[in-house]
Amino acid sequence: MKKLIFVFSITIFLFSCGNSKKGYIINKIDENGKATKELIDKYNAVSGWDTVAAYTSYYQKEFIEQKKLMFFKGRIYDIIKEDSIYIVKVLDEREDAYQNFLALITFTPQELESKYPSQTSPKGVFIIKVSKITTSNPSIKTDEEGGGEDASYTYTHLSDDKDQMITIFKGKIVDCYFEKDIEDK
C-alpha cells in the first residue's frame, strides 16, 4: 500500500513539474515570484531599477557602460518586422509607476517563434541586453487659470510631468517567460 501511494505521489509530482511550449510559458508570472526570481538569478539581471527616480544617464551607466542585463516586466502591444529581425514593443503597465517605460526588444525570427508561440498571453517578463536609452521630449500642456470675477484664461506651456514622459530602452532579447493565455489555462 505504501509503494502504491509513493508511486502515485511521484507520478503526480512529475506531471505537475512540466511546462508546455519549450518551458517559456508559466501559469502566472508572479506566482510566488518563483519564475521571476529564477530568471533574474539565472542571468544576474538588475531588477528594481524602475523604482529609482533617476536621470537617463544613470540607466546608461548601469546597463550600457557596465553591461548589466535588465529585467523588464510588461505587455507586448506591437511587433514590427524590420529587415530580417522583429522589434517587439513592450509597455510597462504598472499603475503605480512614477514614470513610464517602454522596451523595444529585437528578436530573430527563430527566437520569436520559439519564445513567443501562439496561444500565449502578451504579458511577460524579459531579460534584455540594453544597447540604447532615450527619453521623450516634454509635451505641450494646456491649463486653465482663474483671472478673478469668474473670468478664466487658458494657456499652454511645456510640461515634463513624469506621467507624460517615457524612457525608452532598446536592446536584444536574452530570455523571456510569458503568462499562459486565458483560454489555455
In a domain, 125, yes or no: yes
Q: Is residue 129 part of a domain?
A: yes
53-66 pLDDT, tens per residue? 888 999 999 999 99
User: Looking at the 3D structure of the chain, how many domains does it have?
Assistant: 1
93-116 per-position pLDDT tens digit: 877 777 889 999 999 999 999 998
**Domain membership flag for residue 49:** yes
Structural domain that includes position 86? 22-136+161-180
Measured in degrees and rounded to the nearest 5, phi and psi for residue 63 equal -100, -25
Question: Which CATH number does the domain housing residue 94 bear?
Answer: 2.40.50
Percent of the chain with pLDDT over 70: 76
In a domain, 11, yes or no: no
Is residue 87, in this structure, part of any structural domain at all?
A: yes
**Which uninterrupted H or E stretch holds 78?**
strand 70-82
**Nearest C-alpha neighbor of 101 from the set 173, 172, 170, 166:** 166
* Separation of alpha carbons 51 and 154, rounded Å: 35
Instruction: Choose from 23-27, 155-159, 172-176 the range with maximum mean pLDDT.
Output: 172-176
How many Cα atoms within 13 Å fall on the side-chain side of residue 172? 10
CA angle 67, 29, 181 (to 5 degrees): 120
